[in-house]
Amino acid sequence: MTAEPAANPQPSAQPSPGWRNGAAAVAMLTFAVDGVTPVLAAGRRHADNAMAITHQQFDARRGTPRLLDILDEFGIKATFFVPGISAELWPALVTDMVERGHDVAHHSYSHRPATQLTVAEERIEFERGYEALARLGITPNGYRSPMWAATWNSAGLAVEHGLSYDTSLMDDDRPYVIETDHGPLVELPPHWSLDDWEQYAYLPEPHLGYVIEPPEKALALWTAELDGLREFGGLFQLTAHSFLSGRAGRARNLRRMIEIIYDRGDVTFMTGTQLRDAVLVDPTVERRRLEPLAVDPAVYPTW
């Protein structure tokens, strides 16, 4: 069954043509297929923890297939961020995403935050993750830093390898273009308030989170953000993790969130690549360079 959007009411803001294509807001549904990588990134000793590993393997066994089926119910195309290790462990799952028409994007190799790596290590992580997708015949357009922990080098590294959009920086709620030494990179800003990790993540060892909130709370938070972004003309980028939002009650909650977006009638769905294309042809979109912050060591003497 394919759900059809409700008839369009008057939008809550006067949208302008451009990257929103006349809609009040753009909804971009994104899913991180992290699998075992967050557990192993906390230390390889956790590979001996059968509970923790199987908790993450729910991602491929049940979570991602369930979420893919829900997206099929609505005919929505989403964006899946896949670490290289997940691509190596579950190649059939990742190619299934492509075959269903979804946007598969780069999410490092091992899910270690780039801010904890040297410049050389960040490059190796990036290249190994890119190559893992390439072995499946996938050329990604987008990149998301693990834990959104981008460095000042991350944007240039993405463009150097042919990627054209990123979802790691949080200084806006509308897309913009980063001018790098290697060319432009479309930034699609995310935010923690639209991430299911802060609502659902519970794993005591390794510590990935200590919360299990009711899905209704997450739905209320996300709906408030949706309506705010409709008023101000922004990007509603929902970030879900298949080992979290793929659980049964939470999956039903995600379906309800999609229904709410449709019911608003003035929001359009886009993948990361579709939104990139819309941004690049919009002459009103802001273009800027990333400028590292210079910090006075006399004021902040601690490393």
> How does pLDDT run across 13-63, given as a tens digit for each residue?
444 469 999 999 999 999 999 999 999 999 999 999 999 999 999 999 999
Residue 293 in domain:
no
Residue 300 in domain:
no
What distance in Å separates the CA atoms of residue 109 and residue 142, rounded to the nearest whole number? 14
What number is the average pLDDT over the span 194-199? 97
What distance in Å separates the CA atoms of residue 259 and residue 255, rounded to the nearest whole number? 6
Residue 191 in domain:
yes
Residue 41 in domain:
yes
Residue 7 in domain:
no
Residue 303 in domain:
no
What distance in Å separates the CA atoms of residue 223 and residue 260, rounded to the nearest whole number? 8
What number is the average pLDDT over the span 262-276? 98
Residue 6 scores a pLDDT above 50? no
Residue 95 scores a pLDDT above 90? yes
> How does pLDDT run across 106-165, given as a tens digit for each residue?
999 999 999 999 999 999 999 999 999 999 999 999 999 999 999 999 999 999 999 999
Query: Structural domain tally of the chain?
Result: 1
The 3-state DSSP class for residue 129 equals helix
Print the domain residue range for 149.
Answer: 25-288
**Tell me, what CATH number does 188's domain have?**
3.20.20.370
Q: Are 95 and 136 spatial neighbours (Cβ–Cβ below 8 Å)?
A: yes
What distance in Å separates the CA atoms of residue 88 and residue 51, rounded to the nearest whole number? 21
* Of the candidates 149, 141, 82, 138, the residue with the CA atom closest to the CA atom of residue 109: 82
Residue 5 in domain:
no
> How does pLDDT run across 203-223, given as a tens digit for each residue?
999 999 999 999 999 999 999
Residue 164 in domain:
yes
What number is the average pLDDT over the span 86-98? 98
